[in-house]
Amino acid sequence: MAKKRVSILGSTGSIGTQALEIVACFPRKFKVVALSARENLELLEEQSKKVHPSLVSVQTEAAARELKKKIPRTIKVVSGEAGLIEAAGRKDADLVLMAIAGSAGLNPLLAAIDAGKNIALANKEPMVMAGEIITGRALKKGVKVIPVDSEHSAIFQLIRGKHPEEIRRVILSASGGPFRGKSREQMNDATVEDALRHPTWKMGRKISVDSATLMNKALELIEAKWLFGLRPEQLEVIIHPQSVIHSMVETRDGAICAYLSAPDMRIPIAYALFFPERPELDFPRLDLEELAELKFEPADQNCFPGLKLGFQALHAGGTLPAVMNAADEEAVSAFLSGKIGFNNIVELVEIIMNEHKTKSAKTLKEILEADHWARTRAGELINV
C-alpha cells in the first residue's frame, strides 16, 4: 500500500511535534512532504533532516536564507504567506495537517481546500472567522475536514452514522483551566505563568491563555457549529475537570453518548492522520478503576465571561465571530507581553464586540475588513 503523503503546517508547535512523533512510529504508513514553522528554526532544521520533506516554509526571507545553509539542498525553502500557501497546496500531498496558530491559517487552509487536499484541522480560528466559506468550499471540492481538537474529534466520532435529526444537543467539555473555582477578583492579579499552568493539557502559549479565560471554548462553539452543521441552541458547555470525557452527544430519545480517552492529544491527532482507519497505539490507556469518579460542574459565565461572549457571537453570526477572534488574539498577545492584566483580556474583547456593527460574512473581503478593524481598535485600546 502506498504511503499517505502529509504536509504539516506548524510542525514545531505542540500539535506538529506530536504529529511527527506519530509519523515516526509508522514509517511505512506516512511520508512527510512539507513542513512549516514560524520562528523555531533550530527545531525545523532538526525535523527537516529527519523526515526529508520536499519543501519547508518559514516566516521571513532572512530565515529562509539561514535555513538553506543548514539543510539538504534537495529541500526547497520558501517563506511568507506565499510559502505557506505553496506548502498547503502541494500536488504531492494527500493530507494537510493545519496546526498553524491563529488567523494566519485562513488563506493556507483555503488554498489546501482549493487544491483538493483533505484536511486534518487543528487550527480553529479560520473556521471561527469564515466557517461558512470554508465548509462551502470543502463540500464543493469533495474535501474531508477531520477535526483534531479533542472536543471536535470526539463529536466527529460520536455523530458518525447518525442522521442530523437524531441529534438533540452537543455538549463540549472544558477542564475549567488553572483558575477553575476562582472568582474574577482572585484572577485579577494572575500572572502569565499562572495562566499557562494548565492542569491537564500541555499546549502552546496562546491556547493555554485561551483555556484559562475559557475563550478557547468560545471559539470551539463556533467551530463546532460549522464543522457539524449545528444550530446555536444545540450547543452547550460543561466543566469536567478530569478531562477524560471530551464531548457528549445527546440524541432525541434522551440517550447521551460520551467519548472518553486519556487526555493525550496524540490520540485525536493519530485518528485524523489515519482516517478512516484506526491505528493500534502504544500510548497510556485510560484506567477506569483508577479514575473512580467523573465530576461535572456548570460553566459559570460570570466568572468566565469569555464563554458568554462566545455564545453571543455564536447566535449573532456574521462578522462578529471574526471580530471576537481578532480582538482575542491581540488581547492575549498584549497580556503575554505584559501590557495588560489577565482580566483585561476578556474585557477588551467585550468592548470591541459591543462597538462592532455586525455585517454579513458571505465574502472574505467582509471578514478580513472586520478582522482588520478589530485589531486596529484593540491596538488603540491597549496603547491608551
138 secondary structure, DSSP code: H
Q: Is the pLDDT of residue 310 over 80?
A: yes
Q: Is residue 169 part of a domain?
A: yes
What is the pLDDT averaged over residues 304-332? 96
Residues 159, 63 share a domain: no
Residues 142, 169 share a domain: no
Residues 104, 177 share a domain: no
- Give the pLDDT confidence score for residue 177 in this predicted structure: 84
Residues 264, 126 share a domain: no
Output the nine-digit C-alpha cell for 222. Answer: 463556533
Q: Supply the range of the domain harboring residue 218.
A: 152-316
Query: Of 111, 141, 132, whose CA–CA distance to 367 is shortest?
Result: 132
Task: Report the relative pairing of strands 245-251 and 145-147 from DSSP bridges.
Answer: unpaired
Query: Of 321, 306, 307, 330, whose CA–CA distance to 356 is shortest?
Result: 321
Q: Is residue 328 part of a domain?
A: no
Q: Is residue 188 part of a domain?
A: yes
Alpha-carbon distance of 129 to 318, in angstroms, equals 9
- Give the pLDDT confidence score for residue 201 in this predicted structure: 65
- Render pLDDT for 215-268 as a digit per residue (tens, 0 to 9): 999 999 999 999 999 999 999 999 999 999 999 999 999 999 999 999 999 999
Query: Of 132, 90, 83, 91, whose CA–CA distance to 107 is shortest?
Result: 83
E strand or H helix at 204: none
Lowest mean pLDDT among 42-51, 88-97, 189-198: 189-198
Widest Cα–Cα separation across the chain? 62
Dihedral angle over CA of 198, 201, 206, 211, nearest 10: -60
Q: Is residue 98 part of a domain?
A: yes
Residues 288, 161 share a domain: yes
Residues 186, 309 share a domain: yes
Q: Is residue 364 part of a domain?
A: no
Provide φ and ψ at 251, rounded to 5°. -95, 170
Output the nine-digit C-alpha cell for 157. Answer: 466520532
Q: Tell me which range, 104-118, 178-192, 280-294, is most confidently predicted by mean pLDDT.
A: 104-118
- Render pLDDT for 130-166 as a digit per residue (tens, 0 to 9): 999 999 999 999 999 999 999 999 999 999 989 999 9
Name the pLDDT band for 383 (thresholds 50, 70, 90): confident
- CATH code of 21's domain: 3.40.50.720
How many domains are there within the chain?
2
Residue ending a domain, choose from 148, 175, 193: 148
Q: Is the pLDDT of residue 197 over 90?
A: no
Q: Which amino acid is at 230?
A: L
CA 94 to centroid of chain Cα atoms: 21
Residue identified by cell 482516517 is 275
Q: What is the 3-state secondary structure (H, E, C) of 291-336?
A: HCCCCCEECCCCCCHHHHHHHHHHHHCCCHHHHHHHHHHHHHHHHH
The overall average pLDDT reported for the chain is 94
- Give the pLDDT confidence score for residue 265 in this predicted structure: 94
Q: Is residue 351 part of a domain?
A: no
Residues 190, 138 share a domain: no
Residues 136, 121 share a domain: yes
Residues 171, 112 share a domain: no
Name the pLDDT band for 186 (thresholds 50, 70, 90): confident
Residues 166, 227 share a domain: yes
Q: Is residue 333 part of a domain?
A: no
Residues 170, 158 share a domain: yes
Residues 169, 265 share a domain: yes
Residue ending a domain, choose from 253, 285, 316: 316
Q: Is residue 357 part of a domain?
A: no
- Give the pLDDT confidence score for residue 247 in this predicted structure: 97
pTM of the model: 0.93
Residue ending a domain, choose from 253, 281, 316: 316
